[in-house]
Amino acid sequence: MQAEQLLELALRKGVEAAEVLQSQSISSPVLFESNRLKQLETIESEVTALRIWFQGRPGLAVAHGDVNSHDLIDRALALSTLNEPEYIELGGSTPICYPDLGQSVGVDKLIDWGKAAIHHIREIYPEVICAADWECETETIHLLNSHGLDASYRDTTLSCSLAAEWVRGDDFLCVSDGITQRSTLNPFFLAQQVIQRLDWAQENTVTPMGRMPVLFTGKAADLVWGTVQAALNGKQVLEGSSPWSGRIGSLVVSDSITLYQEPDRGPFSCPFDDEGTPTRAINFIEKGILQLFYTDRVTGRRLGDGTTGNGFRPSLSSYPTPGLFNVLIVPGERSLEGLITSMGKGLIVDQILGGGAGISGDFSVNVDLGYGVEQGMIVGRVKDTMVSGNVYVALKNLIEIGADVDWNGNCYTPSLVVEGLSITGKS
The string of pLDDT tens digits covering residues 119-158 is: 999 999 999 999 999 999 999 999 999 999 999 999 999 9
- The CATH number for 61's domain is 3.30.2290.10
Distances from the Cα of 382 to the Cα of 50, 140, 223, angstroms = 51, 45, 19
* pTM across the whole model: 0.94
Q: Are residues 282 and 415 in the same domain?
A: yes
pLDDT tens, residue by residue, 46-100 = 999 999 999 999 999 999 998 899 999 999 999 999 999 999 989 887 677 788 8
Q: Are residues 189 and 249 in the same domain?
A: no
Q: Are residues 371 and 235 in the same domain?
A: yes
Contact 134, 113 (CB under 8 A): yes
Question: Which distant-in-sequence residues (6+ apart) come within 8 Å of 372 by Cβ?
Answer: 205, 206, 207, 208, 347, 348, 378, 379, 380, 381, 382
User: What DSSP element (H or E) covers 369?
Assistant: strand 362-374
Q: How far apart are CA 8 and CA 145, in angstroms?
A: 10
Contact 43, 106 (CB under 8 A): no
Report whether pLDDT(401) > 90.
yes
Q: Are residues 209 and 167 in the same domain?
A: no
Least confident of 33-37, 319-323, 420-424: 420-424
DSSP letters, 156-209, are EEEEEEEEEEEEETTEEEEEEEEEEESS---HHHHHHHHHHHHHHTSSB-----
Tell me which of 173, 195, 217 is where a domain ends: 195
3-state secondary structure of 98: coil
Report whether pLDDT(399) > 90.
yes
Q: Are residues 31 and 168 in the same domain?
A: yes
Contact 93, 85 (CB under 8 A): no
Over residues 363-389, the mean pLDDT reads 95
Look at residue 427 in the predicted model and tell me its pLDDT. Answer: 63
Share of the chain above pLDDT 70, in %: 99
Counting the structural domains of the chain, the total is 2
3-state secondary structure of 38: strand
Q: Are residues 250 and 375 in the same domain?
A: yes
Question: Which distant-in-sequence residues (6+ apart) come within 8 Å of 65 by Cβ?
Answer: 46
Look at residue 1 in the predicted model and tell me its pLDDT. Answer: 62
Tell me which of 195, 220, 254 is where a domain ends: 195
Q: Are residues 99 and 52 in the same domain?
A: yes
- Closest-CA residue to 367 (of 209, 190, 178, 225): 209
3-state secondary structure of 134: strand
pLDDT tens, residue by residue, 347-360 = 999 999 877 788 99
- For residue 8, the enclosing domain spans 3-195
Q: Are residues 225 and 187 in the same domain?
A: no
Q: Are residues 180 and 329 in the same domain?
A: no
Q: Are residues 207 and 181 in the same domain?
A: no
Provide the greatest CA pair distance for the chain: 74
Written as one letter, the residue type at 22 is Q
| Exposure of 28 in the CB half-sphere (CA atoms within 13 A) | 12
Q: Are residues 207 and 190 in the same domain?
A: no
User: What DSSP element (H or E) covers 112?
Assistant: helix 107-124
pLDDT tens, residue by residue, 210-254 = 999 999 999 999 999 999 999 999 999 999 999 999 999 999 999
pLDDT tens, residue by residue, 186-219 = 999 999 999 999 999 999 999 999 999 999 999 9
Checking DSSP bridges between strand 214-216 and strand 346-353, what pairing results, if any? parallel
Q: Are residues 207 and 270 in the same domain?
A: yes
Share of the chain above pLDDT 90, in %: 91
Over residues 302-330, the mean pLDDT reads 95
